[in-house]
Structure 1
Amino acid sequence: MFSLTPVVRVLLIINVLVFLVTNESIIEQFGLHSFLSDKFNPIQLLTHMFLHGGFNHIFSNMIGLVIFGPMLEQFWGPRRFTFFYFFTGLGAALLFSGINYFEVHSVYETIQTYRANPGYDSFLAFVDQHAGSYYDRLVPFIEKFKTFPDDSKNIQDSLTIVNRIFTNQVDEPMVGASGAIFGVIMGYGLLFPNTQLFLLFPPIPVKAKYLVIFYGAFELYSGVYRTQADNVAHFAHIGGMLFAFILVKYWGSQRKTFY
């Protein structure tokens, strides 16, 4: 069905084999954690690219790899394509981690303020601002805290909850090859912009350049306006596309082949 090139085939096999043996322990150890997490390890910047959170996750990524990857590998050759794949994947991880650092650091500063002056109103403000996805589970405690805002146990429990929410956010690992895959899609769109691609939903033909523009705009919108319940790493997708754009344009300006 697909004409797989050597590097694409190896990447596909590695991703599938790793997926078959992946469990929660492996994701905790090798998924990409926040720079602020005690679980962060620099090697995770690479290893997270071969981990996936479920069948739909790996299926969508590998479909993108086998559809768009072979033409890029044929155009550049195996060495340059391999460099491109990992360059965009690592770039995506760094952009995601940088934005995540500022977001989580903002939560940390809010927690420090709350620890200094805990109370019902400030607790509710914290939940609304940083933990909306937890709201339904916290309703019983919120009602109790509202009724007895000066109760020392309620205040202590609120501190425990705030600390737990921060720990959950800072220790949530990011996994998947999506950053590199979006880089591959961007590379394809830049090099073969007028190639007609036939979509499944809706079933219409569209030029590669328009598909890339749509993907980029959608991911940027989702990254900026995403809800707290949305656990998709949109900024990793944007990072993959951004670093792909930079590298393709740089290579295009060079006369010599380095990879």
Structure 2
Amino acid sequence: MMRITETVKHLIIINVLMFIGTVAIGNGELFYKWFALYFPENDLFQPWQIVTHMFMHGGGNTANFSITHILFNMFALWMFGSAVEQQLGSKKFLFIYFSAGLGAVLFQLGYYYFNYIPLHSELIASGLTGDEIVQMMKTNKTLDTINQVQFEKLKELFPVYNASMVGASGCIMGVLAAFGMMNPEAKLMLIFLPIPIKAKYFIPGIIILDIISAVTGQSFFSPSNTAYMAHVGGALTGFIIMWYWKKNQFNKNRWD
């Protein structure tokens, strides 16, 4: 059995404490409001959420405390994170972990803005003001003067404006990519598909499925509200870091 490493152990403790705080304080809403990552155009967005959302699992207006979410993420963090930390050391591991989390944020928010900007521009061009749009996004109530075309655009804009992110999945996808690059022949399995697949095929396969899910809305192995592009961003960030380190391991750019 893989021995848990010190850095991974402390990350798991922080995640568990944040989950307990979410459940115990404010019925899930208070911690979620403070620490989940909201879409930057939303008034609830705060800069610290870029980091704090990585330690959040569950909560929100529906008080959805996902035990499965945190258990799966912490299991993956223990299993792959401990192996990566043992091979690279704590400094490199933490660099990959948080860089992947930030990469996940960039990809997911970029994807949100890719959908948000054209819709917002079309609504402005139709005669609505920015303040009117924000007010309708906040209250989920439309003005009496809204026509059918504007209403349809607002329906598309609403879930983007009110989107939020929680979870360590982006960080863990980066760690998983690092594990795969260091151990390409290691055989991995999905819980619902107990067929061993080599890491060099398994991890790219997961990334491709996440991209398909983001574009089509069809979920293959995650809940439908998963931030799929965050998974992609985390994995690609982990891959790029490991590729750079491997390429430059014998020159002055090597990580020390």
Match of 2:96 in 1: 84
Counting only pairs closer than 5 Å after superposition, residues 224-243 of structure 1 correspond to structure 2 as: 224-226=215-217, 230-243=224-237
Larger Cα-atom Rg: 1
Tell me the TM-score normalised to structure 2 length: 0.79
Which residue type is aligned with residue 9 of structure 2? R
Deviates more, 1:1-10 or 1:232-241: 1-10
Instruction: Give 1 or 2: higher helix fraction.
Output: 1
Give the ranges of 4+ consecutive aligned residues of structure 1 lying more than 6 Å apart after TM superposition: none
Structure 2 counterpart of 1:97, from 103, 106, 109: 109
Match of 1:122 in 2: 149
> Structure 1, residues 96-121: CA drift from partner, whole Å, max 9, x if none?
112212322233223334555x5654
1:59 aligns with 2:59: no
CA drift at 1:126: 3.0
Unaligned residue ranges in structure 1 (runs of 5+):
132-164
1:25 aligns with 2:35: no
Tell me the TM-score normalised to structure 1 length: 0.78
1:70 aligns with 2:82: yes
Alpha-carbon distance between aligned partners in 2 of 1:224 and 1:83, rounded to the nearest angstrom: 29
In structure 2, relative to structure 1, the CA distance for the partners of 1:198 and 1:124 (3 Å cut) is: closer
RMSD over equivalenced CA pairs, Å? 2.3
In structure 2, relative to structure 1, the CA distance for the partners of 1:27 and 1:35 (3 Å cut) is: same
In structure 2, relative to structure 1, the CA distance for the partners of 1:199 and 1:101 (3 Å cut) is: closer
Alpha-carbon distance between aligned partners in 1 of 2:93 and 2:45, rounded to the nearest angstrom: 28
Alpha-carbon distance between aligned partners in 2 of 1:232 and 1:12, rounded to the nearest angstrom: 21
1:258 aligns with 2:255: yes
CA drift at 1:59: 1.4
Match of 1:47 in 2: 52
In structure 2, relative to structure 1, the CA distance for the partners of 1:38 and 1:204 (3 Å cut) is: same
Which residue type is aligned with residue 258 of structure 1? W
Which residue type is aligned with residue 206 of structure 1? I
Q: Percent identity?
A: 37
1:203 aligns with 2:197: no
Unaligned residue ranges in structure 2 (runs of 5+):
23-27, 59-65, 129-144
Match of 1:216 in 2: 207
Contact in 1 for aligned 2:187/2:197 (Cα 8 Å): yes
